[in-house]
Structure 1
Amino acid sequence: MDLSTIFLIFIYVFNIMSVLKLIFIKRSDTRVIFAWLLVFFFLPYIGFIFYFLIGSKYKMRIMSKKYGMGEIEEKYNKVLEKHIHNIDTDKIQFREVETKKYRDLITMNSKNIMCYFTQNNEVELLLNAKETFSMVFEDIKNAKISIEVMYYIFKAKDKIGKKFISLLEEKASQGVKVTLIYDGIGSLHTHMSDFKELKKAGGHVYRFLPSIIKSLLLVNYRLHRKIVILDGKIAHTGGINVGDEYFGLKKINKPWRDTTIRLTGYSVLSFQTRFWSDLVFLQNQSFRKINRAKLKFDERLLKSFYDPIEEGNIGVQILSSGPSSRNDSIKDSYVKMITTAKKYLYIQTPYFIPDKTILDALRMAAAGGVDVRIMLPGIPDKKPIYAVSLLNVAKLLKYGVKVYLHSGFLHAKTLVIDDHVSTVGTANIDIRSFSLNYEINAFVYNNEFAIKCRDTFLNDIKDCMIFDIETYSKRGLWKKIYESVWRFITPIA
């Protein structure tokens, strides 16, 4: 037996092992399994390489364990166990009577991702890039101690990117501790040299992931979070990245409609914890001695949980998820919101590639009399994903789900139910956000804020056209074939 034959047998065995793992160990969604089986069938000798690069989350879990804040998180979890027990045993006094109805959602979130439920917050809804960056820049100017920034896309050469960096340079030169993290693939045309002056001024900049080799090997797992934290007292998150297109300056995406939120109160500590965890994960890959970065935050992190910041009266939970998470926590929360809704459920998302669980939950909610409405962009930025999104919502129309297409590019990621529970964050309704990307969402329990989200949705309908099955069914044969092909690819794309 010659060497080439042995090599082909070796590769084929790895393909078989990958298939067995996918079916019997990983037990993924059936659509994901079928998509990968097609890859293995049509690419029999290199399919496992694709699976290793973009399909398996095991290597991310190993890296998280090796480079993460394991010991600190264990201590944090012990503190949180008492908090969860108090929710379970009705020892927490809800500031809004209505919130008590959603105790099961709060408890599930707390256990699923070990996150705090806090009630002393203020949350402000921001509906476009102009509002968002005006507020972010004002908060940065007023920062005295620390500025922590994390974006999936940070276009350093854009007008808004240059302004952002200039402001950070100014604050760093004043002695404020500035830390910036950006995703290396999302910010493909941004380089460390773009932050040369910021680093000279004393700022710290990190790319996810630090190693180019790791970025290529782990290309499918992206840091999709958008977070800005000021002095540990103010946090911003939502759908907006740092780029001129978010102002609707590009004709192809004009007008651009997006949503972010500004939070103050004890919930900011959850953002702080998430940022520190991600920072330590990156620092430990840069430092020669593992755990050097962990020790830096141990005392500071634990102390923060016993030093609440009183700001308002809004209940908030901050949920984060990623390929290293035990559960798809944000997806689970979306499903719980859908199944909990009694009157209405309004969804805004740029992409709609859900799994069967979410599709079934939406179908049953609408069939049960809930007013289910979904708003998508009328202008796509990724045509294959958009085609499959329309295919998916079309399936729901016959059950009474109302679908709207915004006149521009809708990039907001929001859900709101029954005038009390809402969520705003970075997670789209697609398999990538639920399982492959690192995401973060704020779940808000408050009548006034939920009504603002509801009214925003209803106001956006004025800029929409109704998506109906009659119009959709008239599409041509090639369009249907195009959709069908991409329907099999999107679960792993």
Structure 2
Amino acid sequence: MFWSIVLPVMIYGINAISIFSLIFFRRRDMSTTFAWLLVMIFLPVAGFVLYFFFGSTHKLEIMSKTYRMKDIEDHYMKVQDFELNAIRNDQMEFTDPVTEKYRDMIVMNSRNSGCLYTRNNKVELLVNGQEKFPRMFEEIAAAKKTIHVLYFIIKTRDQIGKDFVDLLAKKAAEGVEVKVVYDGFGWLKTFRRDFRPIEEAGGKVQRFLPSHLRTILLVNYRLHRKMVVIDGKIAYTGGINVGDDYLSLYPKMNPWRDTSVRVTGPAVQDLQLRFLEDWIFLEKQNKKLRDPLYKENIAAMNERYFPHLEGEEAQPGTAGVQIISCGPDSRYQTHKDSYIKIISSAKDYVYMQSPYFVPDETLFETMRLAAQSGVDVRLMLPGIPDKKYVYYVALSYVQDLLDAGIRVYFHKGFVHAKTFVSDDHVSSVGTTNLDIRSFKLDYEVNTLVYDTEFALTCKDQYMRDIADSREVCAEEWKQRGRWHYICESVCRFIAPLA
């Protein structure tokens, strides 16, 4: 009798508190909030549990404030304020005069995500694993001081993964500082013991997140970044993880079309800082790690990780670069904002690639308005899906895209590249997909490049990809069948809960 009265009261009490917190504390995205309210109303308790694991970012926000690199971040913000004042007061000279037209974009990204704008960089486009891995491995083998590695996926059972671990272990044995971060949920067949050769050789390895309990509690939030920084002077980032599939060696996902970049110049130090922030964020939660970096002297860290660049190392090219990073603990969805700014600033064209397309209303409307303003807007999606559910969500938008005048292409293989190029000057290559998960739930990093030569390279590659793609015809799309339409509609309805 007692529990028959108390238990329902407790259940609805918990639900009421959850609903109250949703209404008054989660006010940024009301469509997602409304979807979670429906879950909690119709699934008491279960709805609360689901929201705790998959919907709330409050836990990460608290952790980020607790485990941040305060001294280095405060110094970085002072540099950023100085730079912003120089841009606002017309005191900054742009290497490429065309970049002057994008002053507002640079300021917006800087204020929105706290990123610096660096000049005189060299950015090289790498359009598959065959281009990236041999060159990256060669430069890792030549490293003298530090090798910092962060990947969402490292497939240690694949041949490329074995070679990667062996190379890093060899460099650690030579006395080079080797630090590796991987996401434990990126590839479930990768285990901590697989990195033992690196640790036995003197390197250090961390998993996101170090605590098994926190991994369970925060299972919906992933470290989706990919980057390698060598001696603080060379960096690789973009969409390519470490696995044989990225070399098109998986028959079911062949060909695999992906994009990364090799960066030299001042922007490398921004990627170095991003790695160190992620490393210390994990390090402060990992009590077993010996000689933690966060206890070191700041001056010594600066000297070791941010070498003074001179001559060609300081000015290897002409590209302006912003390294934009954010995560579920960020105040704004800075990658989405960056994409929206590129689209809304386009006058001639904007070409996009993404393996997933799950836009919110703001992003979709920006694309629609650009197309209806006469901008040539194109979107390329994979012809071979890796996740059927997300793929059906993307397909549900194709008719809307076509009606808006946006051209849609399906590549003959699996497109994993996350790229933008616009008006022969602005390009973005990164880890951020065109979907709600990347914008809200994952830690991502993008390289935004202001450079005509690099943009033309990206544009030429996009045209080569079009030659390997099939453009969607509106009349053909309407004939795709009722079952496809039903699947698309159901998947699209639940997409806000991703």
Matched, 1:369 2:374: yes
Take 2:163 and 2:94, find their aligned partners in 1: how far apart are those partners?
42
Take 1:178 and 1:288, find their aligned partners in 2: how far apart are those partners?
17
1:79-94 pair list within 5 angstroms: 79-94=79-94
Give the Å deviation of 1:170.
1.0
The 3-state SS of whatever aligns with 1:480 is helix
The 3-state SS of whatever aligns with 1:379 is coil
Paired amino acid for 1:72: I
Cα displacement string for residues 301-356 of structure 1 (whole angstroms, at most 9, x for unaligned residues): 55677945332221000000101112111111100001000000000000000111
The answer as to whether partners of 1:423 and 1:441 remain within 8 angstroms in 2 is yes
Q: 2:475 corresponds to which residue?
A: 470
Give the Å deviation of 1:389.
0.5
Q: 2:157 corresponds to which residue?
A: 157
Q: 1:339 corresponds to which residue?
A: 344
Larger deviation: 396-405 or 217-226?
A: 396-405
Take 1:402 and 1:239, find their aligned partners in 2: how far apart are those partners?
23
The 3-state SS of whatever aligns with 2:92 is coil
Larger deviation: 358-367 or 169-178?
A: 169-178
1:453-468 pair list within 5 angstroms: 453-468=458-473
Larger deviation: 413-422 or 184-193?
A: 184-193
So what's the TM-score if we normalise by structure 2?
0.95
Q: 1:42 corresponds to which residue?
A: 42
Q: 2:227 corresponds to which residue?
A: 227
1:38-187 pair list within 5 angstroms: 38-187=38-187
Aligned equivalent of 2:322, options 296, 300, 317:
317
Paired amino acid for 2:168: L
Q: Structure 1 residues 384 and 19, CA, compared in 2 at 3 Å: closer, same or farther?
A: same
Larger deviation: 51-60 or 295-304?
A: 295-304
So what's the TM-score if we normalise by structure 1?
0.96
Q: 1:394 corresponds to which residue?
A: 399
Q: 2:411 corresponds to which residue?
A: 406
Q: Structure 1 residues 291 and 66, CA, compared in 2 at 3 Å: closer, same or farther?
A: farther
Matched, 1:267 2:267: yes
Give the Å deviation of 1:35.
2.7
Q: 1:419 corresponds to which residue?
A: 424
The 3-state SS of whatever aligns with 1:438 is strand
Q: 1:381 corresponds to which residue?
A: 386
The answer as to whether partners of 2:351 and 2:421 remain within 8 angstroms in 1 is yes
The answer as to whether partners of 1:76 and 1:302 remain within 8 angstroms in 2 is no
1:253-332 pair list within 5 angstroms: 253-287=253-287, 293-296=293-296, 298-300=298-300, 307-308=308-309, 309-332=314-337
Take 2:489 and 2:17, find their aligned partners in 1: how far apart are those partners?
28
Cα displacement string for residues 407-434 of structure 1 (whole angstroms, at most 9, x for unaligned residues): 0001000001100000001000111111
Paired amino acid for 2:294: K
Give the Å deviation of 1:212.
0.8
Give the Å deviation of 1:95.
0.9
Give the Å deviation of 1:295.
3.6
- Tell me how many residue pairs correspond in the alignment: 493
Take 1:405 and 1:366, find their aligned partners in 2: how far apart are those partners?
19
Q: Structure 1 residues 474 and 406, CA, compared in 2 at 3 Å: closer, same or farther?
A: same
Take 1:301 and 1:355, find their aligned partners in 2: how far apart are those partners?
41
The answer as to whether partners of 2:26 and 2:33 remain within 8 angstroms in 1 is no
Cα displacement string for residues 251-274 of structure 1 (whole angstroms, at most 9, x for unaligned residues): 221110000000000000000000
Give the Å deviation of 1:217.
0.4
Q: Structure 1 residues 462 and 102, CA, compared in 2 at 3 Å: closer, same or farther?
A: same
Q: 1:252 corresponds to which residue?
A: 252
Take 2:85 and 2:307, find their aligned partners in 1: how far apart are those partners?
17
Give the Å deviation of 1:65.
1.0
Q: Structure 1 residues 367 and 144, CA, compared in 2 at 3 Å: closer, same or farther?
A: same
% identical aligned pairs: 50
Take 2:429 and 2:4, find their aligned partners in 1: how far apart are those partners?
54
Q: Structure 1 residues 408 and 292, CA, compared in 2 at 3 Å: closer, same or farther?
A: closer
Larger deviation: 90-99 or 36-45?
A: 36-45
